[in-house]
Amino acid sequence: CFLLAISLFLNAQNYDESKAGVYTVPEALVLENGKKVKGAKDWEAKRRPEVVALFEKHVYGRMPGPPTHFAFRLLREDKQAMAGKAHLKEVEISVGNGVEEAKINVVMFTPAFAKKKVPLFLLINNRSARNTAPERDTLSGFWPAEQVLAAGYGIAAFQVADAAPDNKEHYREGVLRLFPETASAPDGMKAIGAWAWTAGRVLDYLEKDNEVNGKQVIVVGHSRGGKTSLWAAALDPRFAMCISNNSGNTGAKLSRRNFGETVQRINTSFPHWFADNYQAYNGRESDLPVDQHLLLAAIAPRPLYVTNATKDLWADPKGTYLALQLAQPVFNLYPEQSRLPARQPEPDQPYIAKPLGYHNRTGKHDMTYYDWEQFVRFADLYFK
Ligand code: GTR
């Protein structure tokens, strides 16, 4: 009973602004050797690779390159989907290393009347596959394909379970079978790394699809999927835009700010998400050589849209907006200048501008029609 009380105390999450703590985050524009980053070239040649390597080593785990075997086949096609408005494709991607093979299923719709290759939203789906069912018998705001198509975009999704089952007993059963060394290495990727790696493989396919503009693929994720969309975009510059919805801890929120979910809590609840090395930072966020603003910065200069929900304090809306602000100087090394408001935008007052956008939706932890409406508005700034 005493031990239980102690552990509840240690695991208690703070929701009191006055206890969010005082902290200094690693500087975006200073190299580990203390030298200043002089401009975009310096950022790209030196600091960005350093930042990505630090996230690999300490947080998400090392990322393997593309697989030695890659193939895809069309499982099903319907040119008359959605009452003739859409072209449906179900594609199976196979990735292998010569010994092991894993299969990723992709569902995608493109507008039937598109005159040229379309920009496309790719969802890393961590929720029920019903949300992305090709039959469209469960319509939900989590993946509002009809609305997204009507706006002139394609939409696709894959299930995280194909890439790595989301549980600590079985996460190795997907693409991680191709990389046996990663399973035991302290800096080996686990489920979130595997999901991000797989998003890159789906992009490999999308680049070959003759209805999709491979240079206009937007990677989208919610919550654990939103942590993954950030990591996928940071790693793979071919993603043209990133959307991270309610991503919270080890997503878009500052780890050092003591508010909502902590590193210890996430590593304890989800020991199969991050590299084993990350466990060393349980209760020691300030010792991390990175904080999450650097992950956002690694996406620059590509457009990034981040969201929160007012009732989702677990994901720390304020700490998320702060991270976005701290990433801004890196985006501003490039010609397209970001001018985020000094104060976090009020609930339901989306800030939609190039290259950084943000909103805090009234309501709970979820991804909804409202959220997607803003994603489309943000994407329209670039692709319309
Ligand atoms: C929670 C977890 C969050 C977030 C969320 C989700 O339990 O603590 O970090 O990932 O799950 O994915 O919905």
Q: Amino acid identity of 190? A: K
3-class SS letters over 40-86: HHHHHHHHHHHHHHHHHHHHHCECCCCCCEEEEEEEEEEEEHHHHCE
Compute the distance between CA of residue 269 and CA of residue 252 in angstroms, rounded to an integer. 19
Q: Are 171 and 190 in contact (CB under 8 A)?
A: yes
Told to judge if 223 belongs to the known catalytic residues of this protein, a careful annotator would answer: yes
C-beta neighbour count of 77 within 10 angstroms: 11
Closest CA to 27 of 10, 46, 63, 51: 51
Assess whether the C-beta atom of 132 lies below 6 angstroms from ligand 1: no
Task: Please state the pTM of the whole predicted model.
Answer: 0.97
pLDDT digits (tens, 9 = 90+) for 38-51: 999 999 999 999 99
Assess whether the C-beta atom of 154 lies below 6 angstroms from ligand 1: no
Q: What is the mean pLDDT of the chain?
A: 97
pLDDT digits (tens, 9 = 90+) for 7-20: 556 568 999 999 99
Told to judge if 286 belongs to the known catalytic residues of this protein, a careful annotator would answer: no
CA of 224 from ligand 1 middle (Å) equals 6
Strand order in the sheet with 118-125: 69-80, 86-96, 101-111, 154-159, 118-125, 212-222, 241-245, 304-309, 356-361
User: Which atom in ligand 1 lies closest to the alpha carbon of residue 227?
Assistant: 10
CA of 167 from ligand 1 middle (Å) equals 13
The DSSP bridge partners found for residue 52 are none
- Please say if the pLDDT value at position 353 is more than 60: yes
C-beta neighbour count of 336 within 10 angstroms: 13
CA of 260 from ligand 1 middle (Å) equals 11
Assess whether the C-beta atom of 313 lies below 6 angstroms from ligand 1: no
Map residue 277 onto helix, strand or coil: helix
Assess whether the C-beta atom of 110 lies below 6 angstroms from ligand 1: no
Give me the percent of the chain exceeding a pLDDT of 90.
96
pLDDT of residue 358: 99
User: Which atom in ligand 1 lies closest to the alpha carbon of residue 248?
Assistant: 9
pLDDT digits (tens, 9 = 90+) for 72-130: 999 999 999 999 999 999 999 999 999 999 999 999 999 999 999 999 999 999 999 99
pLDDT of residue 182: 86
